[in-house]
Structures are given as structure tokens and as C-alpha cells.
Chain A
Amino acid sequence: MAGDGAWASAAEIAKAVASGRTSAATVVDATLARIDARNPALNAFTAVTAERARERACAVDAAPDKAKLPLAGVPFAVKNLFDIAGLATAAGSKINRAHPPASRDAPLIERLEAAGAVLVGALNMGEYAYDFTGENVHDGPSRNPHDLSRMTGGSSGGSGGAVAGGLVPLALGSDTNGSIRVPSSFCGIFGLKPTYGRLTRARTFPFVTSLDHLGPFARNARDLALGYDAMQGPDPDDPVCAQKAAEPVAGLLGRGLDGLRIAVAGGYFRQGAFPEALEAVRRVAKALDARDEVEIPEAARARAAAYVVTATEGAALHLERLRKHAHDFDPAVRDRLIAGAMVPAALVAKAQVFRRWYRARVLDLFARYDAIIAPATPCTAPRIGQQTFLLDGVEMPLRPNVGIYTQPISFIGLPVAAVPVPLEPLPIGVQIVAAPWREDIVLRVAHTLEQMNVAAAPRPL
């Protein structure tokens, strides 16, 4: 691990700890020192679990099976909607801080720690995950490590900032409409939104149960795969979580592109894109020799349907809080949720019917292609506080429109790797999308793009 260790990968750390070249305690102490030094500027962490982390690191160092732990001594942090034993699960809100402390960690934390990883804290997020900016009126905005005046993207803003800023090599977030892929794009890191139902969501604070996914962030595809592999498997505590045995992918990354048929999403996925987004897709398509352009049918309507399901299920979740604590919400979130409560149920049912139709049409495409590439965001990271941007020359509100390319994909739960293309002055992400349960393909493609030096997480200056 060269230099200050800030840019060490999870795989390098695990190897060094497992072999005894360094100790988990040393790694964790250095991580906590970096968080102390850099978090005041980045505002990525809302809680640092230093004492717990040091104890856990000592336990890893003393473990007789240390050499076999795939994430031995790897520090990680989680979006603050994950339950952490002893802390109230804020979910980016003021209201939930009054909740009693969680009695037990979320299962994804337990599974990462069982693999040797060490939780070091909870991360900033947009209130109740209804956000694409990474801003938070209660905790302040998470800041983009590439330019502190810019957004991390949200709602997993602290997750993006903590990984891109070199505070931790691995973080967890949630993605309902793009909340892993948008911060990955703006912060220039890798993110995995697995298939809907792949990773258990038990003991995390929900947003839209029809659409909620959890997944990892890292600075390379191998680390994503290591974290993802450790978290897979069924869980009776989440009824959405599939009864599927783990299907490890880390050993498959080296297979390259052999046999993969890859196309570029056209039509809707080119409209509104800034030149940077189109350039990133062009570079990725060229490297993958993806010459076919496909039209994802009715993508605009899919995005509209996702919008409706989000507004209404989100409103249902928060109805009682809106009645009793309306003044304690972020006003922008409150007003969206109140509006969502007023949408007639017949329209929501229509959106869920459309969802099944759309899923079938998109799955038809995957009979011809193994992966489809699309921009992750229409632009690079906007400035914090920016309210509007130009989409195809029309001034549009920024906050709800950052996710135009992510929403039609998560709406039907497809697995996606967001890969960073290191453009200057700011990076931007590209989505690698595959058929359900084919995380192996998206991570293989992501890893191959890294080997080709087309995708890389740039280190902030």
C-alpha cells in the first residue's frame, strides 16, 4: 500500500492484513485519522464509530481464520439509513433522530463484518433518500472531493464523497431511482446497483419498497465485487430478497468481454445529455466495440411511472409523520411528499401495470444483447445549491431531473454497474446494464473497461 493509504483498494488492504504485512488496527487507526482530517471539508460522515471500529479491528487481527477473510481489515461506512447497533437510524432526517437506538446492525453490515470488514461510521444522505443532490438541510451538504463547491449527487451523497475522497475504500448506499449511480457519476467512482431483490434490505429505513435497492461503492470493480459477494444470500427478514444462494462474481472478472454482445441505448438516452455525457458513452462504446444502437421502448413513460410510484409510496410511508411533524421535514421533501399523498390511487395502479409490460419488452432486448450501455447522469456534478439546468436547451428544475437516465432502469430492477470515465475537469459515469441476476456481466464489463484505462476513479488533486 503506497503513500498515505488513502487510495489503497479493499483488495490490497485485505491481502496485507490477511498476510500479516499490516494489521487491521493500523489500517483502522489511519482511516480514523483521515476521517478526522478530511471530513470537516467533505461532510461525508454523520457519525464515526471509532471505538467500535478499533475493537472490531483487534478482533480481526486476533482471528485464527484471518488469512481466509476476503475483506480482512477493510474499513467501510454506510449511508445513515442502515441500522447500526446503538445509533438511531436517521435516514437523513431530523425526525428519526428521536427514534430509539437500533438494537442490531443491518444484515449487510453483519455480512461485511463476517468477511473481516470493519465499520467506521454512518454517512450523510438526502433526507429520507428523496434526493439526487446529496444536500441535506439538517446536516449540511456532502461535498464533492473533486470540487468542494459541487454536489456529490444523491441521495447516497456521503457514500460517494467518502469513497471518492479516500476516506474509505468501500461504502454502502441505497438506490431507488438512481441514488447509487448518480453519486458514483458525480464523484467519479464505481457503484453497483444489483438486481431488485438480490441484497437484503432488512433493518434499513425504506423509501419506496417497490423500488428500493442496496449496493456498494468502491474505486474499482474488484472491490465492488468483493463487497457484493460478501453480502449476497437470502434473508427471511426481507420479503423482497430472493431465495437465491450467493452467486459469487469476483472470480469471474478476468473473463473479459469474450462472447458478450453489447449495445448502446439510443433515443431517450441521448436526449438531454450534455456533451460530457455523450463523450463518456462514446469512449465506453468504442472500447467495447459496441456498434449497435438499441431503443429501450417507452423509456420516457417508464421514467414517468417510476416518478408516480415513488411519489405515492413515499407519501404513504411518511403520511403520519407529515401529519404530526410537517415542520421538521426538509421543506422540499415535505412538499413533494404532501403532493404524492394526493395522487389518485387509480393512476398508481396504472403505473404498476405498465411496469410489468415494460419489463417484458426490455427483457426481449436481452435476448439479443448481454449488456446495454447508457449515460448515468446528463451532466457532471453541478454546483451545490444549483436549482436548474438546461436540458436540450430548456431550463428545467435540476433536483428531480438528474435521474432521467437511471430511473427507467431501476424501475424494473435491472443490475447496473456505474463506471467512472475520468474526463477533465470532472468525471462522469456510464451505466452498464444487464438482464436480471447478471451482476457478473456488468462487473466483468466494468473491470475490463478499467483494464483498458477507459474507466478509472480519478484521485482528487
Chain B
Amino acid sequence: MSSLDQFIASAAAALGLPLEEAWKPAVKANLDVTLRHAATVAEFNLPDDAEPAPVFKA
């Protein structure tokens, strides 16, 4: 079992999400693509004081 498989099993349990055996390959493929997209964003260096797009106003 790969580390991503283990992560998926643990995350499903922690989130209380059902995860049938037959769904696992597609969930894994989707998570893998999303994490790769997320990595390309996260590796882009921005200053510590860069603000996120959504701005809460009290």
C-alpha cells in the first residue's frame, strides 16, 4: 500500500466518509492530480505578508 493509499484510508476514516474498495482507484487518481496542482501553486514563492483573495470585513 502506497503512502497515498494509506493517507486516503486514514483521511476517509477521520472525515467519516464512506470509501468502498471500487471507488479507491478513482479517488486516488483525483487526489493525486489535485495534489500535483496544489504543489505547483505552493512552490510559487510569495512574501509572508501576501494576503489571500477573500477578505473578511467585520
Interface residues of A, Cβ cutoff 8 Å to B = 210, 298, 300-301, 303-305, 307-308, 311, 319, 322-323, 326, 331-332, 334-336, 338-343, 346-357, 359, 400
Contacts and interface: CB of A to CB of B under 8 A. Distances in A.
B33 to A, nearest CB: 7
A349 B12 CA distance: 21
B50 A357 contact: yes
Contact of A323 (B7, B17, B33): B17
A454 B45 CA distance: 42
Contacts of A332: 26
Contacts of B53: 210, 352-353, 355-356, 359
A356 B23 contact: no
Contact of B23 (A308, A323, A335): A335
A332 B29 CA distance: 11
Nearest to B26: A335
B3 interface: no
B41 interface: yes
Contacts of A355: 52-53
Given A307-B34, A339-B30, A351 B17 contact: no
A308 B38 contact: yes
B52 to A, nearest CB: 4
Contact of B15 (A311, A319, A350, A357): A319
Interface of B: 7-8, 11-12, 15-19, 23, 26-28, 30-31, 33-35, 37-42, 44, 46, 50-54
Contacts of B16: 323
A339 B38 CA distance: 13
Chain A facing B: main interface SS: helix
B13 to A, nearest CB: 11
A298 B30 contact: no
Nearest to B22: A331
B15 A341 contact: yes
A355 B30 CA distance: 22
9 smallest A-B Cβ distances: which pairs? A339-B30, A304-B37, A352-B52, A335-B26, A347-B38, A355-B53, A339-B31, A342-B11, A356-B53
Given A304-B37, A350-B38, A400-B33, A338 B52 contact: no
Contact of B12 (A308, A338, A346): A338
A339 B54 CA distance: 23
A210 B50 CA distance: 18
B41 A305 contact: yes
Contacts of A339: 27-28, 30-31, 34
B38 A300 contact: no
Given A340-B34, A353-B51, A331 B41 contact: no
Nearest to B53: A355
Contact of A322 (B18, B35, B46, B52): B18
A307 B39 CA distance: 12
Given A319-B15, A336-B30, A353-B52, A300 B40 contact: yes
Given A322-B17, A355-B52, A343 B34 contact: yes
Given A311-B30, A343-B35, 7 more contacts: A301-B40, A307-B33, A308-B34, A326-B17, A354-B46, A356-B53, A357-B46
Contacts of A348: 38
Contacts of A210: 53-54
B31 to A, nearest CB: 4
Contacts of B11: 341-342
A304 B40 contact: yes
B25 to A, nearest CB: 9
Nearest to B20: A326
Contacts of A359: 53
B14 to A, nearest CB: 9
Contacts of A357: 46, 50
25 contacts: A300-B40, A301-B40, A301-B41, A322-B17, A322-B18, A323-B16, A323-B17, A326-B17, A331-B23, A338-B17, A339-B31, A341-B15, A342-B7, A343-B34, A346-B42, A347-B38, A347-B41, A351-B38, A352-B52, A352-B53, A353-B50, A356-B50, A356-B53, A357-B46, A359-B53
Contacts of A319: 15, 17
A304 B50 CA distance: 19
Contacts of B28: 339
A349 B52 contact: yes
Contacts of B7: 342
Contact of B42 (A307, A336, A350): A350
A298 B12 CA distance: 33
Contacts of B18: 322-323, 326
B51 to A, nearest CB: 6
